[in-house]
């Protein structure tokens, strides 16, 4: 049975097989969460990203985690550089992040509020989409642990409410 957790914390400190990075499709990690991940994990994350970029909007790519506790970083391209996050790109980037984890044989993943920072996507709509994609994914996969990690108590409470309403 899958263990779904919702925590207040720092995505770069999560002890999961992979963490998800809210990325742009150029995989340039110069601001927001992306910059924090590279700062914590080391320049090799950006160096590996440079070798596989650009990726299509809505796609996800995987790199090693460098010095992070997580072995991998899955970069979810929910927006183009300098643009806002759109719903279809967010949905696809979440789905493709989960697929990259499955393809890599990972059993645990930590997911932040993709697209809600620099991409300015509404948090509650993100939460609804994320829960829907998790439900679809879980019906056909064997992930053991999914951790949603947010920086503040308000987002943790909102996500838990939406999760409980949709997964019964």
What is the rounded CA–CA span in Å between residue 13 and residue 28? 21
Provide CATH code, domain 3-166: 3.40.220.10
Partners of residue 61 on adjacent β-strands = 75
* Domain residue ranges in the chain: 3-166
Global pTM? Answer: 0.96
What is the rounded CA–CA span in Å between residue 6 and residue 19? 14
Digits of tens for pLDDT over the chain (168 positions)? 689 999 999 999 999 999 999 999 999 999 889 999 999 999 999 999 999 999 999 999 999 999 999 999 999 999 998 899 999 999 999 999 999 999 999 999 999 999 999 899 999 999 999 999 998 888 777 789 999 999 999 999 999 999 999 876
Contact (CB, 8 A) for 77 and 27: yes
């Amino acid at each position: 049975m899958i263990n779904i957790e919702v925590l207040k914390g720092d995505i770069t400190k999560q002890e999961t097989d992979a963490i998800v990075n809210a990325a742009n499709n150029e995989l340039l990690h110069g601001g927001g969460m992306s910059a924090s991940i590279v700062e914590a994990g080391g320049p090799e994350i950006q160096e590996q990203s440079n070798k596989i970029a650009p990726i299509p909007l809505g796609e996800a790519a995987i790199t090693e985690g460098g010095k992070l506790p997580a072995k991998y970083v899955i970069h979810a391209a929910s927006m183009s550089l300098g643009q806002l996050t759109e719903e279809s790109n967010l949905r696809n980037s979440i789905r493709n992040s989960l697929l990259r984890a499955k393809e890599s044989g990972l059993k645990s993943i930590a997911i932040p509020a993709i697209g809600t920072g620099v991409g300015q996507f509404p948090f509650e709509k993100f939460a609804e989409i994320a829960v829907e994609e998790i439900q679809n994914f879980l019906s056909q996969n064997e992930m053991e642990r999914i951790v949603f990690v947010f920086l503040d108590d308000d987002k943790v409470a909102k996500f838990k409410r939406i999760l409980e309403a949709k997964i019964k």
